[in-house]
Amino acid sequence: MPISEELFERACRVIPGGVNSPVRAFNRLGRAPFFVDSAKGAHLWDVDGREYIDYVGTWGPAILGHAPECVVQAVQTAVVKGTSFGTPTPVEVEMAELICQLMPSIKKVRMTNSGTEATMSAVRLARGFTGRKLIVKFAGCYHGHGDSLLVAAGSGALTHGQPDSAGVPPELAELTIVLPFNDEQAVREVFRHRGREIAGVIVEPYPGNSGFYLPRPGFLEYLREVTAHHNALLIFDEVMTGFRLASGGAQQLHSIEPDLTTLGKIIGGGLPVGAFGGREDIMDCISPLGGVYQAGTLSGNPLAMAAGVAQLKDLVATDAWARLESLGARLENGMQRALKDAKKHFTFKRCGSMFCLHFTERDVVDLASAQSADFVAFRRYFLSMLDQGIFIAPSPYETGFLSTAHSEADVDATIAAAERALRG
Ligand code: HOZ
């Protein structure tokens, strides 16, 4: 029996579903997940010695690929000085300054240990600052697993059929208004009726948790306008897009200044991390300056900060975004060609290094269109790609990630594998 299968059997006995996060399960795909032994650059090796070109990229953080030299060195240097102190360290200041410099809408930033903590805290802060209760989110967007945001959620919650999680009291869920992404009219209506009760709108500016798709021209700009008009806060969840779509994230692409931004993934270089930041008057409402409480023993952890600072500095120094765009364009062209050759009219969406092949002929602009995808076709494609040594997320509702470590040869091999998978 392959070692992965043995491990999975053992894991299932002691870990719910055998995994420490539901997105890692291959449940609906009829196979056990593989267990990783090691990773370097754009490649993963499993415990059975199989090699994969990786497009999961640890769900976003690995923008320089796995174990990049700069991150490994930074962590090695930091670890011998101690792993956590529960008191401030210089590298936390460096990280905060770097974030504020790269994302000018952020005047002050607080570090957390995960994206979930960041979004949960941003929502509490929006409520504390405005004195209002309602939060608006968009169907299929995933903002971590805080109670207020596990309503019509994407990612693993959607994949496993639990977009509205059990255990979230209805009284709390009622405070979250869910609207279709890209539907300006729906946003207008809700603000017309309940504008004075809305603390904030939280949005993934480029949704990446019900597959990946793009905002219609003007949609994000409208969110900025309507929230400002009603004194509600605009929260950009840039956990996935931050420092990935551009040095200043999606907000830079649209020249929008959200009131608050949530971050994670890339800023930890693969170590556990999150952050939320924004306008100074809002951020100063957080304890110990203000009455909104938020805390964490390991927040601003020196290893995570060292890794994240090293990764961010390398991205800037190498202008990684130009390289990512060129790889992304190569992949997109090749995939469109492969689709055409296979006479499949599926929808391919991409921005920079984020992409998704939707197994539907409809244009994908929101959750409903993403859900029109053919799951059986996805499953066939996923298994064929895996068998050919290409690892994409085990769900049609996730995003593919390129890294600067992917080579043109990796991308071309992926396109060739996709051609075979689509024909099969
Ligand atoms: N935000 C991640 C991708 N959708 C989810 C990662 C996880 O839940 O483990």
Of 263, 148, 254, whose CA–CA distance to 200 is shortest?
148
User: What residues pair up with 108 in beta bridges, in sequence order?
Assistant: 278
Q: Sort 192 into a burial class: Cβ within 10 Å, 0-12 / 13-18 / 19+.
A: exposed
The packing angle between helices 320-341 and 408-423, to 10°, is 20
Cα-based torsion angle of the residue sequence 237, 226, 173, 160 in order, rounded to the nearest 10 degrees: -40
The amino acid at residue 17 is G
- Residue 36: per-residue pLDDT: 98
Residue 10: how many CB atoms within 10 A of its CB? 11
Domain ranges, ordered by start, for the chain: 3-67+319-423, 69-317
- Residue 323: per-residue pLDDT: 98
Q: Is ligand 1 within 6 A of the CB of residue 204?
A: no
Q: For residues 334-352, give the mean pLDDT.
A: 97
Whether this model's pTM surpasses 0.95: yes
pLDDT at residue 60 greater than cutoff 90: yes
Sign of CA dihedral 83, 87, 93, 99: positive
> Of ligand 1's atoms, which has the minimum distance to the CA of residue 24?
9
Q: Are strands 198-203 and 390-391 parallel, antiparallel or unpaired?
A: unpaired
- Residue 324: per-residue pLDDT: 98
> Of ligand 1's atoms, which has the minimum distance to the CA of residue 265?
1
pLDDT at residue 116 greater than cutoff 90: yes
pLDDT at residue 331 greater than cutoff 90: yes
Query: 272 Cβ partners below 8 Å, 6+ apart?
Result: 113, 114, 298, 301, 304
Q: Is ligand 1 within 6 A of the CB of residue 114?
A: no
CA distance 55 to 84: 31
Residue from 26, 58, 59 whose mutation best tests the ligand 1 pocket (most atoms within 8 A of CB):
59
Q: For residues 104-110, give the mean pLDDT.
A: 98
CA distance 291 to 280: 15
- Residue 248: per-residue pLDDT: 98
Q: Are 47 and 35 in contact (CB under 8 A)?
A: yes
Residues of the chain above pLDDT 90, percent: 98
The pair of structure tokens assigned to 171 is 């009284």
Residue 96: how many CB atoms within 10 A of its CB? 19
- Residue 424: per-residue pLDDT: 78
- Residue 419: per-residue pLDDT: 97
Q: For residues 258-277, give the mean pLDDT.
A: 98
Using the mean position of ligand 1's atoms as its centre, give its distance from the Cα of residue 5 in Å. Answer: 23
What are the angstrom distances between the C-alpha of 104 and each of 122, 150, 259? 18, 29, 11
Q: For residues 376-402, give the mean pLDDT.
A: 98
Using the mean position of ligand 1's atoms as its centre, give its distance from the Cα of residue 401 in Å. Answer: 13
Residue from 155, 266, 354 whose mutation best tests the ligand 1 pocket (most atoms within 8 A of CB):
155
Q: Which fold has domain 3-67+319-423?
A: Aspartate Aminotransferase, domain 1 (3.90.1150)
pLDDT at residue 358 greater than cutoff 90: yes
Q: For residues 176-192, give the mean pLDDT.
A: 98
Q: For residues 148-164, give the mean pLDDT.
A: 92
- Residue 231: per-residue pLDDT: 98
The pLDDT mean for the chain works out to 97
CA distance 315 to 334: 26
> Of ligand 1's atoms, which has the minimum distance to the CA of residue 239?
1
Assign domain 69-317 to its CATH architecture.
3-Layer(aba) Sandwich (3.40)
CA distance 337 to 350: 15
CA distance 222 to 258: 12
Of 63, 114, 40, whose CA–CA distance to 246 is shortest?
63
What pLDDT, in 10s, does the model give residues 202-236? Answer: 999 999 999 999 999 999 999 999 999 999 999 99
Cα-based torsion angle of the residue sequence 383, 384, 389, 390 in order, rounded to the nearest 10 degrees: -80
Q: Which residue, judged by its Cα, is nearest atom 4 of ligand 1?
A: 155
